[in-house]
Amino acid sequence: MDAIQGIDDDVTSQPARNWGSSLMPDGQAHMEPQYAEEGPGPGIFRAEPGDPLRRPEAQQQPTSRAGRWCSRRRGCVGLGALALLAGVSVGSWLLVLYLWPAASQPSPGNLQDEEMPLSCSEASGEEALLPSLPRTVSFRINPEGFLLAVQVRARPDWLLVCHEGWSSALGLRICQSLGHLRLTHYKGVNLSDIQLNSSQGFAQLSPGLGGFLEEVWQPRDSCASGQIVSLRCSECGTRPLASRIVGGQTVAPGRWPWQASVALGSRHTCGGSVLAPRWVMTAAHCMHSFRLSRLSSWRVYTGLVSHSAVRPHQGAVVERIIPHPLYSTQNHDYDVALLHLRTPLNFSDTVGAVCLPAEKQDFPRGSQCWVSGWGHTDPSHTHNSDTLQDTVVPLLGTRLCNSSCMYSGALTPRMLCAGYVDGRADACQGDSGGPLVCLDGGTWHLVGVVSWGRGCAEPNHPGVYAKVAEFLDWIHDTARECLRDVTHKSHLVGGRGAVFAGYQLALCSLINGKGRNGPSASWRAVRNQGTSQR
């Protein structure tokens, strides 16, 4: 597939500001001011076209030497005052000329690097990768028996976790740190029921050491309770059916089971990613035309390859739309939203969840990742693809993408870019909100959400994605708050339940903050002239 991207015609896409170009006002021809001066005669000073200021002839009157001196002195004083006034005027004009763009142009937000964007030549060389934060503790769940193991920095081996002091809250934190949205089950397993080699070590919870996951573990030779922790997290990041049509770019069923189509009725609007049976992630700008009265019109379709057989009643009804409260219509920042479904999806071989990035997970520059969607397959096309398409794109360094030959500093710390410098493949209109996924240790993680870019597959303008790792706390907090609301609502009946439902909708559905009104009119641009939402 040469290109995939998007936002379709149902949701108005608007031209984004081309951050790569300067918005300096046009230069104006400088005209010298005209001066009038009281002098010894009736003549005036005038700027003649093409001529410097000059003093025209004036009637001469006989004067004394002192009179001539006084006249000249008055003239000099007048000239000095006028020159000072002219200097102030010119200085003010220059000040407006150079400071007006900075005052009128919206700031693109906090950038990765506050320095001036690098030139194309400076960014074209080898880019040093920023080292990831060291992991002081790592977790894994063994496939046999789902036994939880921890690796602490003081010990290179994997330690089984003792059950004493364990809680579901701690289990949820560990599941989330591994990229899962939910904890599904945990229990204590008797050491006498499993076979372990004699060198196996253990880790004991020590709550007094601190509240962070990195600070609560102490290596032990045995467990006082005689039990270890078995932990199951929500399933994600696996593909039961991973086949693909040979030699083609059309995706086979089950290749990307987390791929969702976010639609108004049966009309595809944007892509999305399934995080859990009732949670889908998409781009905030996709929902900018949302109105409370139209909430029931939104549907999420999963397990699809072709849209030709879609019927409105087949889609999952969207119950809540929750854009990030800091979503900006000016510079595409915080371009993520969560959709809460009325009923849970039925997971199968063709429908499943993608994992979120694990804590401190590092996908270095050059990692080969995949983007998929039903967007345009050619920049010149004006309609979406009927069948799901995918393409591989490498992750690019932010330093390069923020250089003057690409996006001139427009990427914020909550964005990343992926694609090819020569523009051979990309996301395109209609792919907005869709997944950018990367494989790590046999598990697929949602690294980016299709957001914006300049054109489709244009050289030096790769796709820009919302960086999911920057939103993990918001995702978990939002899911927890809405779950608490649903639990509370389930205990209310009659009128009180209806009142609370209205409050719940106001809390979880309305767009708050900068993203309240959706993308500004400046986002509707011709794709080959400026950045555009996808």
Instruction: Centre a 10 Å sphere on the Cβ of residue 483 and count the other Cβ atoms it contains.
Output: 14
Strand partners, 417: 396, 464
The whole-angstrom separation of Cα 333 and Cα 335 is 5
Q: Taking CA 470 as the corner, what is the angle to CA 9 and CA 395, rounded to the nearest 5 degrees?
A: 70
* Torsion angle defined by CA atoms of residues 231, 237, 239 and 242, in that order, rounded to the nearest 10 degrees: -150
Strand ranges across the sheet with 159-161: 137-141, 148-152, 159-161, 202-205, 217-220
The predicted pLDDT at position 375 comes to 87
For residue 318, what is the enclosing H or E element? strand 316-323
Identify the pLDDT of residue 276.
93
Q: Is the pLDDT of residue 378 over 60?
A: yes
- The mean pLDDT of the chain is 71
Nearest partner of 180 among 136, 135, 237, judged by Cα: 237
pLDDT surpasses 50 at 189: yes
Give the best-scoring range by mean pLDDT among 41-55, 71-85, 469-483.
469-483
φ and ψ at 300, to 5 degrees? -120, 125
Confidence grade of residue 21 (pLDDT, cut at 50, 70, 90) = very low
Which pLDDT does position 498 carry in this prediction?
Answer: 40
| pLDDT exceeds cutoff 90 at 413 | yes
CA angle 423, 429, 432 (to 5 degrees): 105
| 469 has a pLDDT exceeding 60 | yes
Give the three-state DSSP class for 530.
coil
User: Which residues are the active-site residues?
Assistant: 285, 335, 432
- Residue holding tokens 């006249």? 71
What values do phi and psi take at 301, rounded to 5?
Answer: -110, 135
Which of 53-62, 109-118, 153-162, 258-267 holds the top average pLDDT?
258-267
Lowest mean pLDDT among 100-114, 161-175, 210-224, 338-352: 100-114
DSSP string, 153-188: TT-SS-EEEB-TT--HHHHHHHHHHTT-S-EEEEEE
* pLDDT, position 430: 85
Contact between 234 and 182 (Cβ < 8 Å): yes
Q: Does the structural domain 137-233 have CATH classification 3.10.250.10?
A: yes
Q: Which residue has the higher pLDDT, 73 or 396?
A: 396
Highest mean pLDDT among 55-69, 145-159, 364-378, 488-502: 364-378
- In angstroms, the CA 479 to CA 508 distance is 10
325, pLDDT greater than 90 = yes
Which residues is 395 bridged to in the sheet? 418
Q: Where are the domains of the chain?
A: 137-233
